[in-house]
Structures are given as C-alpha cells and as structure tokens.
A and B are shown apart, each in its own frame.
Chain A
Amino acid sequence: MMEMEQSASRIFAIKTTSKQERTVADNIKKAIDTGASDVKVTAVIVPDELKGYVLVETHESLPRIEQLVEKVAHARSVIKGETALSEVGHFLVPKPVVSGISEGTIVELIAGPFKGEKAVVKRIDAGKEEITVELYESVLPIPITVRGDNVRVVDKGDLS
C-alpha cells in the first residue's frame, strides 16, 4: 500500500506572481538543491500557454507542497486538488503554432509593425511555422510573412 502511494506521481499547480513563472521554477530547484526545503519534487513544468502558474510533479502530499511554497519567492499558493500526468501531458508536446490556421482564415496580427491589423491568410509554411498574410484594409494586396505565433485567429470559417 505504502509502495503504491510512493510510486504514484502527483501534479500540483502553484500560483505565481505574473511573469515570474520561470523564476519560480528556478527557485524551487534552488530550494531543493541547497537543502532549504526537504520536500521532494521530481520536476517542474512551466508551459508557455499557462500564464501565472507552474506545475510541479511530486510524490508528496498537498500540505508538503504548501510548505515548499512558503520558502519559494514569487510563489503564492497551491491550488487545492491534484492532477495526473495524463491530464497535463499535452503541455509537454507543444503543438505547432500554425495548427488551426488554414488558407482564408482571418487573423489579427498581435506583434510587429502591423500590430492590431486584420489580415487574410494566403499561405502557410508549416515547417518554418510562418504564415503569409495580406492586410484586410490595405488598398494594395501586399503579402507579409509573419511568424505563426504573432497572429490570433479571428475567424476560422469561410474559404469563399
């Protein structure tokens, strides 16, 4: 029974100060490496999609993780409730940023000189994760190539 409990790895979410997710992960590692905390954590995941939280993989219980959080700067609290790797596994295999974008999709540029402009996708380069768009409101159709993560999908639909 004890053996079972030891082998099951749990995942907890820790709330962090905003934009300090990576610092928290480093601080957790530091706290464990230097022996400041004897809580055993096996891995810390900081997914790009999950802002304001880090996921810790551990064999310990929730109160122990709360103990750890008190020692770590920029870590604020532990979310009550645990999850398993199967539920967060998709964070580990990042999907290509151009997935969900097809030719004819209307996107909004979210970075670069054309930030805020809407555009229609003309071509997709899945390998380089780049897309070529034409600005919606521009008189001349000038193709612009931007990085796949610099756009936000506004309207998936009609290819007409």
Chain B
Amino acid sequence: MAATKKLVKVCRDCHRVVDGESCVICGTMNLSTDWAGYLVIIDPERSEVAKKMNIKLPGRYALKVR
C-alpha cells in the first residue's frame, strides 16, 4: 500500500523493487527512485512474462529504470 506514496527504490541491476537501503538479491546499493512501469511476478515458473523478462524469482519489478 505504501508503495505508491513514499519514494520507492528500485535496484538498477535486477530492476527489483527494494524496501530497504540495499537490494536483497544482488546486495548492491545501486538503487534508483526514477523508474516507470511495474511488474508483479507471482509464479515465475508458469509465467511467460517472467520467461520473457528472464526473471526467476517472484516479486515486484520495474520495467524501466533510469
């Protein structure tokens, strides 16, 4: 819910929407608040969208990160 209100950060490497100060998957601090397009992957194994985007883990992603 809070996702839309405060400045949400996105990992520049894996495009994953991050809650804290670093990306839990890549461990990088390379985050961006300037992004557009949103993608929620719930079941990466059965999702063709996830395959197309090369996403192996469920979660929230940005489509475009600046």
- Across the interface, do A26 and B39 meet the contact criterion of CB distance under 8 Å? no
Please name all residues of chain A whose beta carbon is closer than 8 Å to the beta carbon of B1 when the two chains form the complex: 23, 26
Q: Are B3 and A26 in contact (CB under 8 A)?
A: yes
Tell yes or no: A32 within 8 A of B by CB: yes
Q: Is there a chain A Cβ closer than 8 Å to B37's Cβ?
A: yes
Q: Are A44 and B40 in contact (CB under 8 A)?
A: yes
Nearest CB in chain A: distance from B17 CB, A: 10
| A64 to B4 alpha-carbon distance, docked (Å) | 27
Stretch at the interface among A86-94, A99-107, A114-122, A137-145: A86-94
Q: Which residue on B lies nearest to A46, using beta carbons?
A: B38
* Binding stretch for chain B, among A35-43, A75-83, A150-158: A35-43
Inter-chain contact A85/B49, CB cutoff 8 Å? yes
Interface residue count on the A side (C-beta < 8 Å) = 28
Contacts of A28 in B (CB 8 A): 40
A70 within 8 A of B: no
Beta-carbon contacts under 8 Å, B11-41 to A: 36-41
Q: Is the CB of A94 within 8 A of B60?
A: no
Q: Report Cα–Cα, A89/B60, bound state, in Å.
A: 18
Contacts of A59 in B (CB 8 A): 46
Q: Are B39 and A45 in contact (CB under 8 A)?
A: yes
Given contacts A43-B50, A57-B49, A92-B52, contact A25 B63 (CB under 8 A): no
Q: Which residues of A contact B (CB under 8 A)?
A: 9, 20-23, 25-26, 28-29, 32-33, 40-48, 57, 59, 85, 89, 91-92, 94, 129
- B residues sitting closer than 8 Å to A (CB atoms) are 1, 3-4, 36-44, 46-50, 52-53, 60, 63-64, 66
